[in-house]
Amino acid sequence: MASQDWFDKDFYAVLGVSKDASEAELKKTYRKLARQYHPDSNPGDAAAEAKFKELSEAYSVLSDKEQRAEYDQVRAMGSGARFTAGGPGGQGGFEDVFGGMFGGGQGGGGQRVRFGQGGGGAGGFEDILGGMFGGGGFGQNTGGFRGFGGPTKGRDVTATTTLDFATAIAGDTVKLAQGNGRQVNVRIPAGVADGQKIRLRGRGEPSPDGGEAGDLVVAVTVRKHPVFERDGLNLRIDVPVTFVEAALGATIEVPTLGGPTVKLRVAPGTPSGRVLRVKGRGVTTKNGTGDLLATVQVAVPSHLSDKAREALDALAAALPDEDPREDILAKARG
């Protein structure tokens, strides 16, 4: 904010409080008006948005003890003063504002107050403002009077949400409760992962001085699925097959997430652990679409009838006398 605004704007009138209002009264009044004129409560209302920024600007000054004291001193000079470039004869310049304070006159007559170029020299503009406002230079690391290098961004707000596995993969709009009790709709993009954070710009706390609002940061937790597991953009599933299906080959039915089942061909002699791929049935995000990876698991029966046992004994006798562990035993021995 330029210093000229402190002459022109009555921040007490903007908030509707007296000049001796307490900090508690300022805070209570500002919160009430901020809720009334907040852009979220008045979507598309330009007048309400302008009023909200005006309120935030006023409160940012009056809520700070030092800034409030400076503001009161500047306002005490009179609303007719102007910080303008000096014209011929020195009229209309900085000297006119401070002339009366230091015994100087206007124009070319009387004693003048000199405003040097800074650099730490005596008699500079910084020295005069430093004495008025409690020390410190003008514009040092601030861009103007203290705290007025530009409007500050509002604080970010964090929130958490827990989603079902299918909801996280498909995406959805969920309702979250903010700290003030208000609910906000948040769009969860398709394919959001467990532990991922979603940043929604401008959905956090408002700026205290009319600047950009903070962001809403949502941390997502995804519940586990009883069947599917996520692996990047792919979905994994363990598919049991019988010994006969694995040995002789078969066509089996496999579920997909949120869609119809698909049929997969199990080749004869398929071992446990072999992965069968279904293209395009994984996770879809802006970065692409994954696949469904079905891992074959040969199911061994835990109970056999006498007839089944006799059949297996006959099979064992008919099979070649081989040791499937011979290779790993040899490698282990070096």
Query: What average pLDDT does the chain have?
Result: 78
Mean pLDDT in residue range 221-244: 95
Going by pLDDT thresholds of 50, 70 and 90, the confidence category of residue 119 is very low
Give the pLDDT confidence score for residue 146 in this predicted structure: 40
Q: Are 62 and 26 in contact (CB under 8 A)?
A: yes
**How many Å apart are CA 143 and CA 277, to the nearest integer?**
61
Higher confidence at residue 190 or residue 70?
A: 190
Higher confidence at residue 188 or residue 126?
A: 188
Give the pLDDT confidence score for residue 150 in this predicted structure: 64
Q: Is residue 6's pLDDT more than 80?
A: no
Task: Report phi then psi at 7, rounded to 5.
Answer: -75, -40
pLDDT digits (tens, 9 = 90+) for 137-174: 433 443 333 444 568 888 898 888 999 999 999 999 98
**What CATH class is the domain 157-222?**
mainly beta
Residue that the structure tokens 């995000």 belong to? 285
Give the pLDDT confidence score for residue 181 in this predicted structure: 66
Instruction: Confirm or reject CATH 3.90.1280.20 for domain 229-306, answering yes or no.
Output: no
Q: Residue 333 carries which side chain, given as an amino acid letter?
A: R
Give the pLDDT confidence score for residue 211 in this predicted structure: 85
Q: Residue 162 carries which side chain, given as an amino acid letter?
A: T
CATH of domain 3-132: 1.10.287.110
pTM: 0.52
3-class DSSP state of 65: helix
pLDDT digits (tens, 9 = 90+) for 193-216: 999 999 988 888 888 888 888 998
User: Which segments of the chain belong to CATH 1.10.287.110?
Assistant: 3-132
Give the pLDDT confidence score for residue 61 in this predicted structure: 86
Q: Is residue 116's pLDDT more than 70?
A: no
| Percentage of the chain lying above the pLDDT 90 cut | 33
Give the pLDDT confidence score for residue 237 in this predicted structure: 97
Give the pLDDT confidence score for residue 82 in this predicted structure: 44
Give the pLDDT confidence score for residue 80 in this predicted structure: 44
Q: Is residue 121's pLDDT more than 80?
A: no
Q: Are 291 and 280 in contact (CB under 8 A)?
A: yes
pLDDT digits (tens, 9 = 90+) for 52-98: 888 888 888 888 888 888 888 877 765 444 444 444 444 444 444 44
In which region does residue 326 sit, left (phi positive, over 0), alpha (psi from -120 to 50) or beta (all else)?
alpha
Q: Residue 271 carries which side chain, given as an amino acid letter?
A: P
User: Which segments of the chain belong to CATH 2.60.260.20?
Assistant: 157-222, 229-306
| Interacting residues of 299 by C-beta distance below 8 A, sequence separation 6+ | 240, 241, 242, 243
Mean pLDDT in residue range 283-303: 93
Of 117-121, 185-189, 243-247, 279-283, the poorest mean pLDDT is in 117-121
**Which stretches of 94-211 are assigned E, i.e. beta strand?**
157-163, 172-177, 183-188, 197-200
Quick one: CA torsion of 295, 296, 302, 305, rounded to 10 degrees?
A: 160
